[in-house]
Structures are given as structure tokens and as C-alpha cells.
Amino acid sequence: MGKKKKRANRGDDRDKSSAKNKKAYDDIVKENANFEAYYKQQNIIAENEWSTFMEIIREPLPASFRITNTEFNQTKALQNIVRSQAFEDLAEDKSFSISCLKWYPNELAFQMKLSRVEIRKSECLQRLHNFLISETESGYISRQEAVSMIPPLLLDVEAGHKVLDTCASPGSKTAQIIEGLHSKANSVNEGVVVANDVDNKRCYMLVHQSKRLHSPSFLIVNHDAGSIPNFYNKVNGENVKMKFDRILCDVPCSGDGTIRKNHDVWVKWSVANGNNFHGIQSRIVKRSLELLNKGGIMVYSTCSLNPMEDEAVIASTLVQCEGGLELVDVSDKLRWLKYTQGLETWKVIQRDMKVVNSIEELDKNLKSQIREAMFPPKNVKDLNLKRCVRILPHQQDTGGFFVAVLKKLVDVLPWEKENSESDSYKVPPKKKLKGFKEDPFFFFQGDEEEWLKIKSFYRISNEFPANQLMYRSSNGKKRNIYYLSNAAKSIVCGSQNLRIINGGVRIFSRIDDKVCSCSYRITQEGLSSIYPYISPEILVTIDKNEIELILKNESVLNENLREVTQQKLSQLPSGCCVLVYKQMIVAENEQEEEMLIPFCGWKGKTTLR
């Protein structure tokens, strides 16, 4: 009894502590004299806009989301729903409003006049909140800050590209990149997105994201982005060094552009924060450029307004590249987006708020914090820094963000050793990454007994690349079978020094059912990958009434279904089956097009679920 009472008291203390912290967070005074003084000196905001800027950053950040660009016309159907009165009626609040972000392609992104906290807490918005959560978990929408949608757009990913996201977690930008790979049918097999993060635990957040995306063209690796190993492809039995067509460097930063949703920035902000990040940001950029193909594009971005983390990093990188890198003018790609051009001059300021004009003026004890590369270079006017993009919160009611698009013009950068075949970027022992020991990847050959039974049961075409199926159990038990694109498989087989956390999409899962002649069921996340290869003979088309009946009940008696559905089911063996719902929708050209939703079902002797 005494122990139980002690635990209860401890719980009470935790509750009181949590309530105390919450109250303290809500009571934060949104003032910081050094923040204001610093940014006034940097001139990132016009003097006549300063009061508007300060006013808007004290307000909550509006929630935003984008519709996933999916297959089978499902995107258009959901877009029609969001635009309808029925969507606004979910809010049960007359003050609720939603607007389309004009600068996002195909009008697939939306912003609401409410913050995520307000949506979560309001009883009137409960139905809206549930809808957003449900559609997010299903992968049909991504709840993402508006400005964070910009870097993947400017990356200009196309089907077949090999893309690296150096600092990927939590994965909303990675999801956009993957959508670019899926932009054309039948081309995904040649593309791949490698999502990297230094934090092992955050890598598993990316695993959750991968389940939502249903993509076979996805690898998650766990490395320090500043010293990530070289990548290799397996080509004709040999490991061939590879580089990427596109790289996203959304680097760690001080994050003061998130001040509208992270209120503790008001309390914790200091000049030293931005100065301290410059070094690691520059290191990540240099390593990323080494992994980029000649002619490839790299997007550098931060959620910081600080020139030390923005223009100073870009300028020092351009100088070191000696003409091998150029800033890309993206003004034609940002129609409707309000932003300011990059700075061509900025001030280096010590943590005591003293402005220093050169490294010689710097206090000796601060030389480890402020580097010469942080000062504007002598040739700053030649670097085209005005091509950088800075989004300010008051310009269109968003967070703050900085983006620069860079194009690599040479094969070998000045600091690289030409024709070096050695992998000199192994993680040093003192920085050995912690986390779970990952199981190895084992690929099918195409003649395995398990695969032959699966293929026969689901009547899968011979065109399906069975050698891209994979399992991760060293004892041979294949509980889950995954499917990887050809490009993803090539990296897995060729890159021995990569710490790969996960890859591809789970396509089959083992079942223990004595009635079913096949030991594996198709997973919902893997269905879109296998669907084009399944024989139409085993697809069961259902109508609107039937799909409602199935979704509302744990199981449905076959006798309650249409006669044509009963007849189709009678021709199939017991076990996993593929149900298909079709509906005509109105497309952009006002013409009707067919929307298709395939999903996994289970046929029993007399029931369907």
C-alpha cells in the first residue's frame, strides 16, 4: 500500500509539474530586445514594415496542409471535397475560413485561419480535426507548414531522379520529393529518394512516414550529414560510385523563423545561436556538393532569418567553389509568392551585441565562434546573392524561411582530390552513432517457394520484378516481404558502409490461417505497387452501398451484397482479396474521369471484411 501511495504522489507531482510548465509557456512575454536590435541592424526588413512584422510574429501560425499527388485520380476527388461547402461545414464554426495557396502547383495546398493548437482544442472543430488526422494517416494529405513546402518545389524533382535529403526528419519535405518521383507512370523503378538523419530515433519517424507514402523508391539511412559515406550502385556485379541528381539541404539551424509556433524562441534567442550554427551548416553543404552530379541541383534552406546561417553560408561556399557553382534565379518559379531577395551585405555581431567589421577586430576569446567565412567576401557583388529567397512572416501570414538554389557546374570541386576512389567519409569512432542494430537485407531470386505460391494465388504477371522483393530476417523466416525500386536495390547491394534503417514498401505480410492456401496477404500500403500486375480476374468491384457496409461493420454476410458481387466472390478462394471502388469525378477540363480506390479485403466462407 505504501509503495502504491508513493507512486501516486509521484504521478501527482508530475501532473503539477506539467501544468506548471504549460502555464509558464502560455505566459511567455513575446519580447526580446536583442532580437529586435539584431534584425534592425541586419536590414532584412524595410523600416516601414517593421511594426507589421513584429505584430504578426506575436500571432499564432495558421495551420496548413497539402493534398498528396496520388494515383487513380484520388487527388482530384479529395481536392473537390476540400473546395466544397461540406468541408467548411466540418468546422461547425461560422468564423472558419480556408484559402488555397496560389503559389503551390495545381492548387493542392491550403491554409486555414486557425493554428493547429486552436483546431485541436476547439470542440466546434473536432470533426475537422478528426478529418485532418484520418487523411494524414492514410497518406492523402500532409499537414505541413506552408513555407516548408517551398524547398521541394524548387528542387524540381522528376521521375527517375536520384535524390538525397540530407537532414530529412520528420519527413514532410521528403514526402513531397517522393511525389515528384511518382509524377509519371512506370518511371518510379529508376528513381530513388535517400532520406538521411543523424538522429537514430528520428529515423524511425521517417519509417512511419514511409508507411504513409506507399513508395518502393525510398531508403532511410542514419549518418552525420557532414560526413556521410559515399554511395555505390551494384552494376554487373561491381560497386560503382554514384552521385545524386538532386540534393535537399534543409540544415539544422537556430530556428527563429518558427517563432510564431515555438514561443520559447522569445526567451532563448541570442546572437550566439546563429553564429554557432554557421560551421556545421557549411560542413553539410560542402559534403552534399561532393555527392551531387555535375549539372545537378542542390537546394539549401533554413527556418532561420539570420544572415550568418543564410547568405554567409552560401557566399563562403560559392567562393570556395571558384566558379564551379552558381546560384539559380528562381523568380519565374515563384509566381504569387511574396518574398525578399537575398542580402549583399550583412553585419557580424558578437554575443555582447558589438558589431565587428573584420576578423582582426574580434575579441580573442570569441575567435572559435566567429570565423572569417562569416563576413561578406570582397567579391560579394559577383555572387548574385539577390537570387536567394527570404520569406518573412508578415508578407503572407506564414513562418520565416530562407532558400537558395545552387547548380553544380563541374565534376570535381577545388577541395576534392581528383580520381580519388577511396571512401574517406567514414564516421569517426568518437562520433559513432548509437541505436538499434539493423537486420541485413536479403533479396529474392524469383524461384523461392513462398514467391511462387504468392504469384499463383494472386495471379501476378510475369512482368513483376520479383528479384526486387526483400526480407530482413537472418534466420530465414519471412514475416514481412518488402518491395524496392531497382535504383533503391542497387544502392542497398552496392553501398557496404551505409547504415540503412529501412527501405521500400511492405508489400506482403505473413498470416496464420489454416483455411487460406496462401501464407501471405497483400498489405494496404503495398497494394498500389502490386496492383498493376494483378490479374483483373481476382479484382472484386463493389459499389458505394457495399463499401459503406464493409467499412461500418466488422464483417458482412455475402448474402447482403449484390448478386454480381456474390458471384465474383464465389469464384475466389478464401483469403486476402482486392476490392475496387470506382466513381466518376469532374476533372479540371470539366470532363468526367474515373476515380479508382483499391483496398485489401478478406473473403471468408460466407463473409467479407
Residues forming the active site: 303
DSSP conformation class of 531 = G
Give the 3-state DSSP-derived string for 134-165, with helices as H, strands as E and coil as C: HHHHHCCEEECCHHHHHHHHHHCCCCCCEEEE
Which residues does residue 143 pair with via DSSP β-bridges, in sequence order? Answer: 65
Would you say 224 is a known binding-site residue? yes
Please identify which residue in the block is written with the cell numbers 500571432. Answer: 59
What is the CA angle 241-243-245, rounded to 5?
A: 155
Cα–Cα distance between 433 and 497 in angstroms, integer? 13
Cell numbers given for 99: 484559402
Question: Crossing angle, helix 271-290 and helix 311-321, to 10 degrees?
Answer: 40
Cis status, amide bond into 414, omega within 30 of 0: no
Question: Left if phi > 0, otherwise alpha if psi is -120 to 50, otherwise beta: which for 504?
Answer: left
> What sign does the dihedral 394-64-178-180 (CA atoms) show?
negative
Asked if residue 266 lies in contact with residue 30, where contact means CB atoms within 8 angstroms, the answer is yes
Strands 192-196 and 162-165: parallel
To which H or E segment does residue 599 belong?
A: strand 592-603
Would you say 250 is a known binding-site residue? yes
Cα–Cα distance between 278 and 533 in angstroms, integer? 50
Cell numbers given for 479: 514475416
Cell numbers given for 73: 485520380
Which residues does residue 582 pair with via DSSP β-bridges, in sequence order? Answer: 596
What is the CA angle 308-104-383, rounded to 5?
A: 35
Would you say 310 is a known binding-site residue? no
Please identify which residue in the block is written with the cell numbers 524461384. Answer: 447
Q: Which residues contact 89 (CB under 8 A, 6 or more apart)?
A: none
Asked if residue 399 lies in contact with residue 383, where contact means CB atoms within 8 angstroms, the answer is no
What is the CA angle 343-345-347, rounded to 5?
A: 115
Question: Which segments are annotated as binding site for S-adenosyl-L-methionine?
Answer: 197, 224, 250
